[in-house]
A and B are shown apart, each in its own frame.
Chain A
Amino acid sequence: MTPVNTLIAKELRCFVVSPVFYVVGAVFLFIAGFLAHLMVVNAGQQAVRFLQMQNTYAQLNLNELVFRPIFHSLDIVLIFLLPMLTMRLFAEERKLRTIELLLTSPIGINEIISAKFMSVLLIYLGLLGLTGLTPVVLSFYSAFNWDPILTGYLGLALQGAFFLACGVLASTLTENQIVAAFLSFGIIIVFWLMGGLGAMLGETTLGTVISYLSFAEHYDRLVRGLLEAKDIVYYLSGTILMLFIAHRVVDSHRWQ
Chain B
Amino acid sequence: MIRVQHITKRYGMHVAIANVTFDVKQGEILGFLGPNGAGKTTTMRIITCFMPPSEGTVEVAGFDCFEHPQEVKQRIGYLPESPPLYQELTVTEYLTFVGRLKRLSASRVSSRMAHVIEQLGLGEVRHRVIGHLSKGFRQRVGLAQALIHDPPVLILDEPTVGLDPKQIIEIRELIKSLAGSHTLILSTHILSEATAICDRVVIIDRGHIVAEDTPAQLSSRMRQSEKMSLTVKHPSHDWLERLAAIPGVLHVVQGATPETSIIECELGRDLREDISQFVVEQGVGLLELKPLLLSLEEVFLQLTQQDEQPTPQKDPSQV
Give complex CA distance A99, B50 in Å.
Answer: 10
Q: Which stretch in A28-36, A101-109, A133-141, A222-230 binds the other chain? A: A101-109
* A13-B89, A14-B88, A17-B88 known; A97+B70 contact, CB < 8 A: no
In the complex, the answer to whether B89 meets A255 with C-beta atoms within 8 Å is: no
Contact status B103-A100, CB under 8 Å: no
Contacts of B89 in A (CB 8 A): 10, 13-14
Beta-carbon contacts of B37-49 to A below 8 Å, as 1s and 0s?
A: 0000000010011
Among candidates A1, A100, A101, residue contacting B100 with C-beta atoms closer than 8 Å = A1
Given contacts A10-B89, A96-B84, contact A104 B103 (CB under 8 A): no
Q: A126 at interface (Cβ–Cβ under 8 A)?
A: no
Are B98 and A106 in contact (CB-based, < 8 A)? Answer: no
Q: Give the shortest distance, in Å, between A124 (CB) and chain B (any CB).
A: 20
A78-B246 Cα distance, complex, nearest whole Å: 89
Provide the bound-state CA to CA distance between A97 and B106, in Å.
26
Q: Does B36 contact A (CB under 8 A)?
A: no
Q: How far is the CB of B10 from chain A (nearest CB, A)?
A: 10
Q: In the complex the two chains form, what is the Cα distance from A241 to B49 in whole Å? A: 26
Q: In the complex where A6-B97, A7-B101, A10-B97 touch, is A104 in contact with B76 (Cβ < 8 A)?
A: yes
Number of residues on chain B facing chain A (CB within 8 A) = 31
Query: What's the minimum C-beta distance from A59 to chain B, rounded to whole angstroms?
Result: 53
* Interfacial chain B residues near A17, Cβ < 8 Å: 88
Interface assignment of B73: CB less than 8 Å from any CB of chain A: yes
Q: Is the CB of B80 within 8 A of A106?
A: no
Give the docked Cα–Cα distance between A100 and B11 (Å): 18
The answer to whether A10 and B103 touch across the interface, beta carbons within 8 angstroms, is no
B93 at the binding interface (Cβ < 8 Å): yes
Cβ contacts B102-123/A at 8 Å (1 or 0 each)? 1100100000000000000000
Whether A254 touches B102, Cβ cut-off 8 Å, given contacts A10-B86, A14-B86, A18-B88, is no
User: Contact partner of A105 among B51, B88, B101, CB < 8 A?
Assistant: B101
Nearest neighbor of A256 in chain B, beta-carbon distance: B11
Which chain A residue shows the least CB distance to B49? A104
A3 at the interface (CB under 8 A from B): yes
Tally of chain A residues near chain B (CB < 8 A): 26
With an 8 A cutoff between CB atoms, is A145 at the interface? no
Contact A254 B101 (CB under 8 A): no
In the complex the two chains form, is A100's CB within 8 Å of B80's CB? yes
Which B residues lie within 8 Å of A10 (CB)?
86, 89, 97
The reply on B284 being an interface residue by CB < 8 A is no
Q: Is the CB of A3 within 8 A of B103?
A: yes
A98 at interface by CB-CB < 8 Å: yes
Residues from 84 to 121 in A contacting B, C-beta threshold 8 Å: 96-108
A106 with B86: in contact, given A3-B100, A254-B52 (CB under 8 Å)? no
Contacting residues, chain B, for A101 (C-beta < 8 A): 78, 80, 84, 98, 101, 145
Q: A17-B88, A98-B86 are in contact. Are A104 and B50 (CB under 8 A)?
A: yes
**CB < 8 Å neighbour of A255 from B51, B78, B84, B145:** B51
Query: Please, how many angstroms separate the alpha-carbon atoms of A178 and B103 in the complex?
Result: 34
- How far does the Cβ of B166 sit from chain A's closest Cβ, in whole Å? 27
| Chain A residue nearest in CB terms to B93 | A13
Give chain A residues whose Cβ lies under 8 Å from the Cβ of B73: 104-106
Considering the chains assembled together, what is the distance between the CA atoms of A108 and B103 in angstroms? 12
B80 and A107 contacting across the interface, CB-CB below 8 Å: no
Contact between A255 and B102, CB atoms less than 8 A apart: no
How far, in Å, is A228 (CB) from chain B's closest CB? 41
Partner of A1, one of B49, B78, B85, B106: B106
Give the distance to chain A from B59, nearest Cβ to Cβ, in Å: 16
**CA A17 – CA B129 in complex, angstroms?**
11
| 6 cross-chain pairs, A with B, having the tightest CB-CB distances, nearest first | A101-B84, A6-B100, A98-B84, A106-B73, A106-B74, A104-B48
Can you name 19 A-B pairs with beta carbons within 8 Å? A3-B103, A6-B97, A9-B97, A13-B93, A17-B88, A18-B88, A97-B81, A97-B84, A98-B85, A100-B50, A101-B145, A104-B50, A104-B76, A104-B78, A105-B98, A106-B70, A106-B74, A254-B51, A254-B52
B residues whose Cβ falls under 8 Å from a Cβ of A: 11, 45, 48-52, 70-71, 73-74, 76, 78, 80-82, 84-89, 93, 97-98, 100-103, 106, 145
Chain A interface residues (CB < 8 Å from chain B): 1, 3, 6-7, 9-10, 13-14, 17-18, 96-108, 254-256
